[in-house]
Structure 1
Amino acid sequence: METYLTKLVQFSGWEAVVEKQIVLKPGQAPRGRQGYTMYHGTHRDSARAIITGGFRPSAGGTLGPGVYCSRDIAKARGYPSRCPPGEHVVLQLKVRVGRVKKMDGQNLAMWHSWQQSGYDTAWLPSTVIGHEEDCVKDPKRVAVKGIAHCADTATKQALEKLISQQRQGGESSGQGNEQGVVGRCKVCKMQTPIGHSLEVCWGCDATVCPFMDKHVCKRSS
């Protein structure tokens, strides 16, 4: 499991927060507003639609409407049920969990009302239903990173190519792909599931990103 810690770097007159990756133990509770690697099982046709157009929240489910995923790949490989092996795909995701509500037998009343209480993600531990499960309110918090499982080699290659194309589209625009695929900012070179807001240096008018390690202003140097 992965999450991110923050550190501060100096950047031409203001400070920017960058992220450093660390590994979490399996089953560890999501913390704060960090990002995690998770998985989502789907049909290959739905996988193409997700890669190009982003996730659509389900109308309902164990934890109500939202995007369902899990840090347990075994859970994702069980969905959708009765899907032929050659058409089944598990997407690897990067999920920014935001404010997380842990669900258990003590708060049954919140299983379908957590979104109205200001939470971004509902987390159902494996001790409750056997496999860890998460429901994310906003699909923009979920980005496709890769293909974790696909029995059909041709389908897997085609989907990976599609992810690469979407990522390149994000790079050419200088932003992470808004359709939910992790891209790379062309200015700071960071991988990001959401677009950076590029700015203009107030000294030399150069295009800069607030997540760059540094920017040397031509006018002041």
Structure 2
Amino acid sequence: MPVEFSGWAAYSDKSKHLKPGQEPKKSHGYTMYHGTLKTNAPAIISSGFRPSFGGTLGPGVYCSRDINKAMGYPACALNDRVVLKLRVRVGKVKKIDRQNMNLMTSWHQNGYDTAWLPASVLGLEEDCVFDPKRLTVIGIAHCTDTSAKSSLESLIKQKSQSQEPKGKELKLCKGCGMQTQDKHTMEKCWSCKASICPFMKNHVCRKKGK
């Protein structure tokens, strides 16, 4: 049975843009930061993260929505440190607070993808993501070496382009304005009969003539 459309407005979930102190939600993506040595950054961008074998929250990749946390790692000269800006798909999240200390390093074995340590526990919030494939480097948040920063940003751009789908050329949908490989099927609004795209964020029915 075909879907019938009338006037609507899409709902945007603002919780995806949480501040460091707010609890992350299951399956959302967040901007986070990771501090590393300048010499390690190219390999991370090109080949992905290597999870640590241990730490406060056990094995995984450590990052934070608070850039101040990432700015403290690793222990090295400021000019040797780079802070990577990440997009992280957190999956199933376990909050580790004083009531859940028994899961401090065993959260993954209990079915969680990410552990979240609130700022109230150790001062600055911290996250540990078990699967490195959940993290994507999207920018350079801090690098005092202008030349190195430019080189790393170029590497990020190359990596992003290499991951774009090959084959079909992206086309602009006249209905919703999105770029798409497959042409969107236009539908008619059952109320005003206007031709609309199901992927449009909103549609306001035209007023019928007198």
Task: Judge same fold: TM > 0.5, yes or no.
Answer: yes
**In structure 2, distance between residues paired with 1:157 and 1:72:** 23
Does the Cα contact within 8 Å between 2:33 and 2:65 map onto a contact in 1? yes
Cα distance in 2, alignment partners of residues 19 and 95 from structure 1: 22
1-structure distance, mates of 2:139, 2:149: 10
What residue number does 2:147 align with?
Answer: 154
Q: How far apart are the structure 2 equivalents of 1:74 and 1:115?
A: 26
Q: Which residue of 2 aligns with 1:25?
A: 19
Query: Which residue pairs with 2:130 in the alignment?
Result: 137
Instruction: Find the counterpart in structure 1 of residue 121 from structure 2.
Output: 128
Hey, what's the Cα distance between the residues in 1 that align with 2:93 and 2:115? 6
Give 1 or 2: higher strand fraction.
Answer: 1
Q: 1:106 to 1:186 in 2, by over 3 A?
A: farther
Aligned residues: 169
- Give matches, 1:18-167, under 5 Å: 22=14, 23-81=17-75, 83-167=76-160
**What SS does the aligned partner of 2:51 have?**
coil
Task: Give, in whole Å, the separation in 1 of the partners of 2:12 and 2:60.
Answer: 28
Q: Kindly tell me: are residues 172 and 19 of structure 1, through their superposed partners in 2, closer, same or farther at Cα, counting changes over 3 Å?
A: farther
CA–CA distance in structure 2, aligned partners of residues 144 and 21 of structure 1: 23
Match of 1:168 among 153, 161, 170: 161
Larger radius of gyration: 2
Q: Is the 8 A contact 2:18 2:24 kept in 1?
A: no
Q: CA deviation at 1:26?
A: 3.6
1:21 is displaced (CA, Å) by 6.8
Name the structure 2 match of 1:202: none
Question: 1:186: Cα distance to partner?
Answer: 6.3
Q: 1:135 to 1:188 in 2, by over 3 A?
A: farther
Matched, 1:214 2:207: no
The match for 1:179 is none
| Structure 1 residue 44, shift from structure 2 partner | 1.0
Structure 1 counterpart of 2:41, one-letter code: A
What are structure 1's unaligned runs of at least 5 residues?
1-9, 11-17, 175-184, 190-207, 217-221
Distance 1:139-1:105 versus aligned 2 partners, 3 A rule: same
Identity of aligned residues (%): 57
Q: Secondary structure at the match of 1:151?
A: coil
The structure with higher relative contact order (CA 8 Å, sep 6+) is: 2
If the length of structure 2 is used for normalisation, what is the TM-score?
A: 0.73
The one-letter amino acid paired with 1:52 is S
Which segments of 5 or more consecutive residues in structure 2 lack a partner in the other structure?
4-9, 173-179, 187-210
Q: CA RMSD in A?
A: 2.6
Whole-angstrom CA distance in 1 between matches of 2:40 and 2:154: 16
Q: CA deviation at 1:25?
A: 3.4
